[in-house]
Amino acid sequence: MVNPKHKLPASISLDLDNQWSYMKIHGDKGWEKFPSYLDTFIPYVLKVLDGLGLKITFFIVGQDAAIEANHKALREITDAGHEVGNHSFSHESWLHTLSKEKISQEIELTETYIQQATGMKPVGFRGPGFSWSREVIEILTERGYLYDASTLPTWIGPIARLYYFWKSKLSKEEKKERVGLFGSFSDGFRRLKPYNWQLGKEQILEIPVTTMPVFRIPFHLSYLLYLSIYSEILMNLYLGMAISLCKLTRNPISFLLHPLDLIGGDQIPELDFFPGMKLKSDVKVKIFNQVIGKLSRHFELMNMDSFAEYVFKRKVKVKNI
């Protein structure tokens, strides 16, 4: 029997989206040269994590790992004892629309380059912009991956998409290409607890990004930070409610971070135009420390790999894909 006093696990992961991918999302010219802030961001975030004694998972984009100038910074991640995961090669959020052959290339290339850059072979995958498909899961299973972490069980995807179109400078064609971006309302009915996908005789673990049980609204760091701009009290109430509901439903947490949640326009002036970048880095870190402090009082914090291992020891539901 599960001891009710025993803390459930919470995995912490960071999608290492680089400067060029934010420029690309926004429709800015110059992204094609792959401008990078990894030299600034990685040493900075490793120091923040070290201060908290946290070991997390970094989902790395293959295109970044393919550029030798980024290798030194990327290597620091594994040298510091963190896990690295696969975040696709070209970070195109419409991964689900590509052919199986193209998806296979995206995953395989990234795996090779991450291993070259960091010395670690990824065992986990997260699709860019929460994009995934049956083909993605099939390829991951064929390649012996331990887990996929691409699903976001929320109904707000279409609203996030409208906001994104409104804020970006995309052409009609580009908008058409991105039509399935961030999922549909029905994603709000997806399972929130980790489960196994069944593919023939094989299984692979699915670790959804946790949204608030019952309400199915996201509470990852970008959302908390956004709330904190209005009121830190409101942010703490919102997070407190998410934590209580997760404890009540015995739902382990997969908590997601992005670089711009932790670093401000004071260090990356090139992305000053992005929402929330007016906040200074030390303000963001202060919020992050508060959030991690609160989470760690109720959950055992760990990287995705250890989280997957924890889940494997228990019985999880099996779903056909």
**Can you give the binding site for Zn ion, defined by CB under 5 A?**
15, 17, 128
Nearest to Zn ion of 75, 258 (CB atom): 258
Torsion on CA atoms 189, 192, 198, 204, rounded to nearest 10 = 140
Nearest to 253 by CA among 278, 284, 285, 224: 224
Nearest to Zn ion of 95, 279 (CB atom): 95
Which tokens belong to 274? 């992005």
Please tell me the distance from the alpha carbon of residue 52 to that of residue 262, in angstroms, as a whole number.
Answer: 14
CA distances (Å), 224 to each of 35, 72, 80, 154, 262, in order? Answer: 28, 32, 27, 16, 12
Nearest to Zn ion of 225, 243 (CB atom): 225
Q: Are 211 and 219 a contacting pair, CB within 8 Å? A: yes
Least spacing, CB of residue 1 vs Zn ion, in Å: 39
Least spacing, CB of residue 17 vs Zn ion, in Å: 4
Q: How many CA atoms lie within 13 A of 79 on its CB side?
A: 11
Nearest to Zn ion of 25, 302 (CB atom): 25
Least spacing, CB of residue 183 vs Zn ion, in Å: 15
Nearest to Zn ion of 8, 160 (CB atom): 160
Nearest to 90 by CA among 140, 135, 137, 34: 34
How do beta strands 147-148 and 124-125 pair?
Answer: parallel
Least spacing, CB of residue 93 vs Zn ion, in Å: 8
Please tell me the distance from the alpha carbon of residue 286 to that of residue 133, in angstroms, as a whole number.
Answer: 37
Nearest to Zn ion of 15, 206 (CB atom): 15
Please tell me the distance from the alpha carbon of residue 125 to that of residue 149, in angstroms, as a whole number.
Answer: 6
Which tokens belong to 139? 């390829």
Least spacing, CB of residue 91 vs Zn ion, in Å: 6
Q: How many CA atoms lie within 13 A of 96 on its CB side?
A: 18
Least spacing, CB of residue 314 vs Zn ion, in Å: 29
Least spacing, CB of residue 65 vs Zn ion, in Å: 14
Beta strands in 142-279 (DSSP E): 147-148, 195-199, 202-206, 253-257
Nearest to Zn ion of 95, 302 (CB atom): 95
Q: Tell me the sheet residues that pair with 127.
A: none
Nearest to Zn ion of 15, 106 (CB atom): 15
DSSP H/E element including 165? helix 157-167
Nearest to 65 by CA among 128, 107, 113, 126: 113
Least spacing, CB of residue 142 vs Zn ion, in Å: 23
Least spacing, CB of residue 131 vs Zn ion, in Å: 10
Nearest to Zn ion of 10, 16 (CB atom): 16
